[in-house]
């Protein structure tokens, strides 16, 4: 069944690229827009559906994951869906004891801190990815012309959760390990690259039109450490999809100093958070790279005139780059009024 993006039945998605095409090129004259964490607690329909189901169980239920993915596409008319899952899902599927604690994030029963801990990590069994493949395939079939984005966590962000055992302020233990035991660190990063790369590849093979690598916490690294201890593993993760011909977005927060290095691991599009303007990001990228971002999530709670002026400024600055995908600088906060997101989509689509 074809699924159309317009809530109101208007075919403003007419002429959109088919699922094989890049989401980074607008053929409709408007800036394409989607939101990181567009599925989730900001939506009452999500909260209702998730009632009584643990986060990771929801991720492994193909029908539920698919429905949650479609909810924000229907409601907001965004130009892409992003598959509902989590960066720790491939770790779980590789046998790691992880839970997602509401209000906290991923928590690991056995943090990975020594060479022996790393040696115990197992590769992912491809058969374990079946619920992901099925969830993506169902979603792509429902979305019709609207592209679906697959995603994975970058090795550094995954390793920082694994080493810390959970969320941390500045990834101190992980950043110490890379210097204290570089061989242990590299083995951990290589393992994470292959596990997360397999998760990403499964989604693309099942039909996603693009892939996004989330290195959310890379901004805690110096450029020198990023290049020496992190970039090789991110490049390795992306080699898992390099033959599949989909555009790759690479995103992190606080990465103003890392933008070009993050592109150079093999990304087509660089995601930028709110801390620098897109015009400056474009300059740092040499004017050759499509950018994604960077509405400040804090502005979602401000009065519409302030938010509207901010979004228009983001679009104006983004127009200096060779291409721009409008998005937030980080995920949708759970307290966001979803009507505000719909309004941003209408603004981007030239309807306001
Ligand atoms: O963007 C989307 O709509 C797709 C789904 C998605 C989720 N997590 C669903 C989710 C994506 C792309 C992610 C990626 C993710 N997960 C990242 C990278 C992006 C980022 O935000 O920096 C990270 C760091 C995680 C780890 C993680 N998982 C955190 C920090 C949390 C929040 C914990 C909390 O309750 O505040 C999660 C849980 C999570 N992942 C939720 C959702 C919708 C909330 C779970 C719930 O509804 O109970």
Question: Tell me: the pLDDT tens digits for 156-195?
Answer: 999 999 999 999 999 999 999 999 999 999 999 999 999 9
d(CA 9, ligand 1 centre) in Å? 31
- Residue 29 is predicted with a pLDDT of 77
Q: How many CA atoms lie within 13 A of 213 on its CB side?
A: 36
**H helix runs in 128-221, sequence order:** 130-143, 155-164, 172-180, 182-205
Binding site per annotation, positions: 37-41, 86, 161, 216, 330
H helix and E strand count, the chain = 15, 9
Give the count of beta carbons closer than 10 Å to the beta carbon of residue 13: 16
Q: Whose CA is nearest to atom 1 of ligand 1?
A: 37
Point out the catalytic residue in the list 12, 46, 75, 86. 86
The three-state secondary structure class of 139 is: helix
Task: Specify the higher pLDDT residue, 23 or 17.
Answer: 23
Q: Whole-model pTM?
A: 0.92
Structure tokens at 350: 């030239």
**How far apart, in whole angstroms, are the C-alpha atoms of residue 331 and residue 255?**
15
Q: One of 37, 75, 113, 263 is an active-site residue; which one? A: 37
Element spanning 264, H or E: helix 259-264
Confidence of residue 11 (pLDDT cuts 50, 70, 90): very low
On the question of pLDDT at 269 being above 80, the answer is yes
Q: Is the dihedral of CA 197, 150, 20, 319 positive or negative?
A: negative
Average pLDDT over residues 200-211: 98
Give the Cα separation of 231 and 265 in Å (integer).
6
Q: Is the pLDDT of residue 10 over 90?
A: no
- Please indicate whether residue 325, judged by its CB atom, sits closer than 6 Å to ligand 1: no
Closest approach atom of ligand 1 to CA 83:
4
**Interatomic CA distance for residues 215 and 212, integer angstroms:** 10
Establish whether residue 171 lines the binding site of ligand 1, counting it when its CB lies within 6 angstroms of any ligand atom: no
pLDDT, tens digit (0-9, with 9 covering 90-100), for 208-231: 999 999 999 999 999 999 999 999
Q: What does the DSSP assignment read for 294-306?
A: EE-GGGGGS-HHH
Give me the pLDDT at residue 258, please: 98
What percent of the chain has a predicted confidence (pLDDT) above 90?
92
Average pLDDT over residues 265-281: 98
Q: Mean of the pLDDT values across residues 282-296? A: 98
The pLDDT of 202-212, averaged and rounded, is 98
What's the CA gap between 218 and 157, in Å, rounded?
7
* Per-residue pLDDT tens over the stretch 95-140: 999 999 999 999 999 999 999 999 999 999 999 999 999 999 999 9
28 — pLDDT class (breaks 50, 70, 90): low
What ipTM was estimated for this complex?
0.94
Query: CA quadruple 87, 168, 328, 194: dihedral positive or negative?
Result: negative
Q: Tens digit of pLDDT for each residue in 299-328?
A: 999 999 999 999 999 999 999 999 999 999
Q: Which two tokens stand for residue 31?
A: 């800036």
pLDDT band at 243 (very low <50, low <70, confident <90, very high): very high
CATH topology (fold) of 44-348: TIM Barrel (3.20.20)
Position 26 scores a pLDDT of 53
What is the crossing angle of helices 231-239 and 182-205, to 10°?
Answer: 30
Cβ atoms of 98 and 84 within 8 Å: the answer is no
CA-based nearest residue to 109, from 162, 152, 185 = 162
Instruction: Ligand 1, residue 50: give the atom nearest the CA.
Output: 47
Q: For residues 81-93, give the mean pLDDT.
A: 98
User: Which sign does the torsion angle of CA 33, 292, 251, 296 carry?
Assistant: negative
How far apart CA 239 and CA 30 sit, in angstroms, is: 32
Question: Which of 214, 86, 69 is closest to 147 using CA atoms?
Answer: 69
The angle, 0 to 180 degrees and rounded to 10, between the axes of the packed helices 62-76 and 130-143 is: 30
Where are the domains positioned within the chain? 44-348
Taking only Cα atoms into account, the Rg of the chain, rounded to an integer number of angstroms, comes to: 19
For residue 262, the cross-strand partners are none
Distance spanning both ends of the chain, measured CA to CA? 30
Asked if residue 9 has pLDDT above 50, the reply is no
For residues 39 and 84, is the Cβ–Cβ distance under 8 A? yes
pLDDT at residue 297, as a whole number: 98
- Residue 1: the pLDDT is 20
């Amino acid at each position: 069944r074809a699924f159309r993006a317009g809530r109101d039945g208007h075919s403003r998605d007419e002429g959109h690229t088919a699922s094989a095409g890049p989401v980074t090129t607008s053929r409709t004259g408007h800036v394409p827009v989607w939101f990181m964490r567009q599925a989730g607690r900001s939506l009452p329909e999500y909260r209702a559906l998730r009632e009584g189901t643990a986060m990771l169980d929801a991720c492994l239920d193909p029908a539920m994951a698919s429905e949650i993915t479609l909810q924000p596409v229907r409601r907001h008319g965004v130009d892409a869906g992003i598959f509902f899952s989590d960066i720790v899902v491939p770790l779980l599927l590789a046998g790691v004891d992880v839970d997602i604690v509401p209000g906290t994030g991923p928590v690991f029963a056995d943090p990975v801190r020594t060479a022996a801990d790393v040696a115990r990590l197992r590769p992912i069994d491809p058969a374990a990815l079946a619920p992901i493949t099925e969830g993506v395939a169902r979603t792509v079939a429902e979305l019709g012309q609207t592209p679906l984005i697959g995603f994975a966590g970058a090795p550094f962000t995954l390793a920082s959760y694994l080493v810390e055992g959970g969320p941390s302020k500045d990834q101190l233990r992980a950043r110490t390990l890379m210097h204290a035991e570089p061989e242990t660190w590299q083995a951990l990063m290589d393992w994470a690259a292959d596990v997360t790369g397999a998760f990403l590849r499964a989604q693309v093979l099942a039909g996603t039109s693009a892939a996004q690598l989330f290195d959310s916490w890379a901004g805690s690294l110096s450029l020198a450490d990023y290049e020496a201890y992190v970039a090789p593993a991110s490049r390795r993760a992306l080699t898992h999809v390099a033959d599949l011909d989909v555009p790759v977005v690479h995103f992190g927060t606080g990465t103003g100093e890392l933008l070009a290095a993050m592109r150079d691991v093999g990304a087509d599009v660089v995601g930028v958070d709110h801390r620098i303007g897109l015009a400056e990001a474009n300059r740092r990228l040499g004017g050759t790279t499509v950018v994604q971002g960077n509405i400040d999530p804090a502005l979602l709670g401000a009065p519409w005139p302030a938010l509207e002026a901010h979004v228009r400024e983001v679009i104006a600055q983004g127009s200096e780059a060779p291409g721009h995908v409008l998005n937030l600088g980080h995920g949708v906060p759970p307290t966001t009024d979803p009507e505000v997101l719909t309004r941003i989509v209408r603004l981007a689509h030239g309807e306001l």
